[in-house]
């Protein structure tokens, strides 16, 4: 299998004439089709709602597109809450799934009427002190511990994760919250990240639905929603089989009908907090080859760096690369594709088989639409790039301008920048 960019070389050259590389490019058509498919896959559940994980791609223009499909916002910080408010999300349009939460974040979430999802049992008291009350609708994050397996494959290691309450704690938390006046309850868990299997959500649903039945029975708390959170992944590698969201929706429906409906809980709404699945494949980082270097290895230097896309540097993550216009040429060269940071791990690819790259070639680094731009940083004084939306009609829209040195220097104003530069 091959991975095809969502733009042609001609179109991309045209876009790059208007917006200098590097930049992040997003595909409106792909975003819309995928959001629609997700909505349809869970349409069997009356209260279903996706709360887009804002941290994955905190761009108001893109969140606006997702709102056309009923999506709310999942936030975990003060500024993410502000961003959600700015795009018109209020009240239960916002899920606040934070951890290690500052009091002022809880206060803003409460002022906006967001649903607060508590990461820990000690946060009950902390929240009550911060707000002066306990909200009527409240959610608790669950961590079953141990290792999360599908068949014999280890998916992830919840017992080693900082998030969520133990089984004992969540029962206790429900009782305390109920005694303090909470009326509607939710439960949430995020047990594995970037799963490329249709079985993750149904497996997670089983864990949460069994817990929900016991919680409602033993504490008398009314469970209004169950939040399956994020974790549905995308095929970063060309040989990976993508998830089928319809199969996932059906898988969850079967478990719902097996466990919740017989328990008289057929009114429970399902929520999701997907980030990567919503936007990952529909964004790419566009960069140009500016250097080639032949030492002990073959290097191609590009004008983007890990400050624009951090995943390869910190996780060794694979991001597929297309050399535009050379899609059908043989991959008979082996390159390290590097950025310019003074960090040897600033490489988008190591020992990658690619067609011969010439200076000036445009490279598309795939699947950067989520956890791409948003993880950017300013190391080495690097500036964040622009974000550009490729509209359905083929036109482009600048949805975030590139940073300039002025932005970089904006947080200290006692030095005048550039006064000694000869004009
Ligand atoms: C990161 C995160 C998500 C989204 O995760 P994806 O892997 O992008 O789907 C959802 N919920 C919470 C609480 C998160 O921290």
What's the gap in Å between 276 CA and the centre of ligand 1? Answer: 8
Ligand 1 nearest atom to the CA of residue 97, by list position = 13
Instruction: Please list, in sequence order, all residues whose beta carbon lies within 8 angstroms of the beta carbon of residue 417, skipping any fewer than 6 positions away.
Output: 405, 406, 409
d(CA 344, CA 129): 47
Domain over 281-412 is classified CATH 2.60.40.420? no
| Ligand 1 pocket mutation, candidates 58, 230, 236, criterion most atoms within 8 A of CB | 230
Residues of the chain with CATH 2.40.37.10: 281-412
How many C-beta neighbours within 10 Å does residue 328 have?
A: 7
Query: Among 121, 128, 61, which Cα is nearest to 88's?
Result: 61
What's the gap in Å between 228 CA and the centre of ligand 1? Answer: 10
Cα 361 from chain centre:
29
Question: Is the shortest distance between the CB of 75 and ligand 1 below 6 Å?
Answer: no
What pLDDT score does 171 carry?
A: 98
Q: Tell me if residue 421 falls in helix, strand or coil.
A: coil
Residues of the chain with CATH 3.20.20.10: 28-279
Write the pLDDT tens digit of every residue in 108-146: 999 999 999 999 999 999 999 999 999 999 999 999 999
| Ligand 1 pocket mutation, candidates 74, 98, 233, 235, criterion most atoms within 8 A of CB | 74
CA-nearest residue for atom 7, ligand 1, is: 231
List, as own/partner pairs, every contact residues 99-102 make where C-beta atoms lie below 8 angstroms and the sequence separation is at least 24, other chains included: 99/141, 99/162, 99/163, 100/162, 101/126, 102/78
Helices (H), 259-416: 276-279, 311-315, 405-408
Task: Report CA-CA distances (Å) from 319 to 308, 314, 343, 349, 418.
Answer: 13, 13, 19, 8, 37
CATH, domain range 28-279: 3.20.20.10
Q: Which run of H or E residues covers position 64?
A: helix 60-67
d(CA 218, CA 111): 32
Strands (E) across 98-230 are located at 115-118, 137-141, 148-150, 153-156, 184-188, 222-227
Sign of CA dihedral 85, 88, 92, 95: negative
What pLDDT score does 7 carry?
A: 97
Ligand 1 nearest atom to the CA of residue 230, by list position = 9
CB 298 within 8 A of CB 394: no
**Which residue shows structure tokens 């595909």?**
27
Strand partners, 291: 301
Question: Is the shortest distance between the CB of 229 and ligand 1 below 6 Å?
Answer: yes
Query: Among 138, 136, 158, which Cα is nearest to 147's?
Result: 158
CB 87 within 8 A of CB 67: yes
Q: Kindly give the parts of the chain with pLDDT less than 50.
A: none
Task: Report CA-CA distances (Å) from 176 to 81, 168, 315.
Answer: 27, 13, 40
What's the gap in Å between 77 CA and the centre of ligand 1? Answer: 13
């Amino acid at each position: 299998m091959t991975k095809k960019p969502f733009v042609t070389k001609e179109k991309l050259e045209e876009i790059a004439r208007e917006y200098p590389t590097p930049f992040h490019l997003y595909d409106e058509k792909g975003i819309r089709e995928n959001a629609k498919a997700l909505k349809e896959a869970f349409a069997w559940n009356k209260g279903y709602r996706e709360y887009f994980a804002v941290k994955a791609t905190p761009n108001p223009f893109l969140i606006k597109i997702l709102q056309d499909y009923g999506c709310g916002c999942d936030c975990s910080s003060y500024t993410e809450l502000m961003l959600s408010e700015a795009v018109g999300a209020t009240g239960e349009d916002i899920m606040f799934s934070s951890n290690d939460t500052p009091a002022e974040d809880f206060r803003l979430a409460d002022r906006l009427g967001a649903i607060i999802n508590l990461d820990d049992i000690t946060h009950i008291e902390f929240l009550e002190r911060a707000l002066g009350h306990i909200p009527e609708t409240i959610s608790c994050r669950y961590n079953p511990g141990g290792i999360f397996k599908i068949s014999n494959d280890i998916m992830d290691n919840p017992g080693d994760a900082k998030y969520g309450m133990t089984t004992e704690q969540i029962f206790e938390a429900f009782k305390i919250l109920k005694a303090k006046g909470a009326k509607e309850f939710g439960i949430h868990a995020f047990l594995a990240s970037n799963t490329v299997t249709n079985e993750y959500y149904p497996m997670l649903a089983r864990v949460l639905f069994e817990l929900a039945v016991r919680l409602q029975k033993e504490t008398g708390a009314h469970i209004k929603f169950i939040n399956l959170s994020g974790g549905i992944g995308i095929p970063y590698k060309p040989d990976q089989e993508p998830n089928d969201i319809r199969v996932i929706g059906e898988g969850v429906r079967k478990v719902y009908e097996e466990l919740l409906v017989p328990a008289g809980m057929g009114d429970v709404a399902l929520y999701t907090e997907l980030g990567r699945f919503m936007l990952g494949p529909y964004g790419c980082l566009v960069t140009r080859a500016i250097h080639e270097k032949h030492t002990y290895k073959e290097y191609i230097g590009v004008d983007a760096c890990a400050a624009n896309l951090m995943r390869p540097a910190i996780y060794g993550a694979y991001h597929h690369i297309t050399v535009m216009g050379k899609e059908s040429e043989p991959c008979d060269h082996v390159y390290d594709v590097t950025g310019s940071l003074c960090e040897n791990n600033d490489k988008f690819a190591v020992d990658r088989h690619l067609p011969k790259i010439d200076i000036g070639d445009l490279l598309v680094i795939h699947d950067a639409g989520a956890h791409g731009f948003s993880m950017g940083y300013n190391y080495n004084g690097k500036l964040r790039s622009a974000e550009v939306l490729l509209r359905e009609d083929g036109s482009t829209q600048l949805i975030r301008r590139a940073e300039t040195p002025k932005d970089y220097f904006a947080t200290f104003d006692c030095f005048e920048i550039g006064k000694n530069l000869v004009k």
